[in-house]
Amino acid sequence: MKYLNPLYIFIIGCLILLFSQSFHQLFAINGIIQLLLFALVVCWPIWKTGRLSYVDIGWPWGLFCIGLITCLFGGGYVWRVGVVGCIYMFIGLRMGIGALQLWWKGYMKKEFPRYQYQRRRWERAGKTNITLAMQVDALAQGIANASFLAFPAFIIGSNPSPHFSGFEIIGLILWMLAFLMETIADAQKLKFLRKMSALGKKNKVCDVGLWQYSRHPNYFAEWMVWNALVIAAIPSWMALYSEEHLVIWILLGLGLLFVSRIMYLSLVYLTGAVPSEYYSLRKRPDYEAYTKRVNMFFPGRPK
């Protein structure tokens, strides 16, 4: 049963949508699409190659599918549906195209470090059936797309009001700022790596620009992207009060908050900062001093 632990919380998210009067049909459509996508694009390649990195293709394209489903079947005000659907599709396309480029260039012929680190977790947890552990982790990502990660899109897309709330405006502005921050951080690191390559210097620590204030500003910005969607969903969730059973309405609200929590855990502990730093400390001689000087996740003044 320990192999199935990653699935339980996301199954709860699925049940919330399934028993919701407003979203059970959207959940059915999204669930089938995510199942097919992950079976073909993630689970089958993992079984053939023994590498978990294919999750990086399935997960973002699953987000794109959530956005497309929202645009096609969301029953709310057309502009609100269009905005949140396009945001999801944009997030998915940005990461999904990047993942396909990595696959096309052959980078997925070797397991990504964050998934190599996952094997260390399995060893500590006493999981010896690696094939099963990989399939369960892949399915967990797909069920996350079918459940909690779809909450903001479906809830926002259900609101029929033609008037936009202050929370929605704040959420949209915050999303744009977070996306801009993530783009700048990625560009700064790419520029730094190209400069070091031209100088013939290897394994140097990127500590320029935003990387002076956070060791992972791109991950922090990605987290804020999801927080922005949660904030924007608050008015639409409140509007569901008269449409849903009280228990389901409360669970939908808790589910929204859990989106922020699960993305934080993922970006810091599961596939983000912690696995990355495990290898950086062994690969980059100056990285330990960098960790003592700069915050890991939340930006702040260097020490």
Indicate whether 215 belongs to any domain: yes
Q: Which two tokens stand for residue 220?
A: 């922090």
Q: What secondary structure letter does DSSP report for 164?
A: P
Is 303 inside any structural domain? no
Indicate if the pLDDT at residue 258 is higher than 90: yes
- 3-state DSSP call for residue 299? coil
Q: Is the pLDDT of residue 2 over 90?
A: no
**Residue range of the domain that includes 271:** 2-293
Note the pLDDT of residue 259.
Answer: 98
> pLDDT band for position 146 (50/70/90)?
very high
pLDDT 10s digits, 260-302: 999 999 999 999 999 999 999 999 999 999 999 999 999 999 9
Q: Does any domain span residue 301?
A: no
* Domain count for the chain: 1
Q: Is residue 298 part of a domain?
A: no
* DSSP label of 165: P
Q: Do the beta carbons of residue 150 and residue 74 sit within 8 Å? A: no
Q: pLDDT of 8-42, one tens digit each?
A: 999 999 999 999 999 999 999 999 999 999 999 99
CA 63 to CA 124: how far, in whole Å? 31
From the list 229, 231, 251, the residue with the least C-alpha distance to 241 is 251
Q: How far is CA 1 from CA 126, 132, 133, in A?
A: 12, 11, 11
Given a cut of 90, whether residue 252 has pLDDT beyond it is yes
Tell me the three state secondary structure of residue 26: helix
Contact 134, 50 (CB under 8 A): yes
CA distance 18 to 16: 5
Model confidence pLDDT, tens digit, residues 72-122: 999 999 999 999 999 999 999 999 999 999 999 999 999 999 999 999 999
Q: For residue 138, name the pLDDT band (cuts at 50, 70, 90).
A: very high
Output the CA–CA distances (angstroms, integers) from residue 288 to 182, 197, 298, in the order listed: 24, 22, 18
Domain membership of residue 299 (yes or no) is no
Element housing 250 (H / E): helix 246-265
Q: What are phi and psi of 71, to 5 degrees?
A: -65, -40
CA-wise closest residue to 293 among 194, 218, 205: 205
Residue 254 lies in a domain: yes
The end-to-end CA distance of the chain, in Å, is 45
- In angstroms, the CA 287 to CA 293 distance is 10
2 CA to centre of own chain: 24
> Can you give the pTM of this predicted structure?
0.95
How distant, in Å, are the alpha carbons of 182, 195, 285 from that of 205?
Answer: 18, 12, 9
Q: Determine, yes or no, domain membership for 57.
A: yes
Distance CA 66, CA 212 (A): 35
pLDDT for the residue 303: 85
Q: What is the pLDDT of residue 48?
A: 95
Structural domain includes residue 300: no
Give tens-digit pLDDT for 178-188: 999 999 999 99
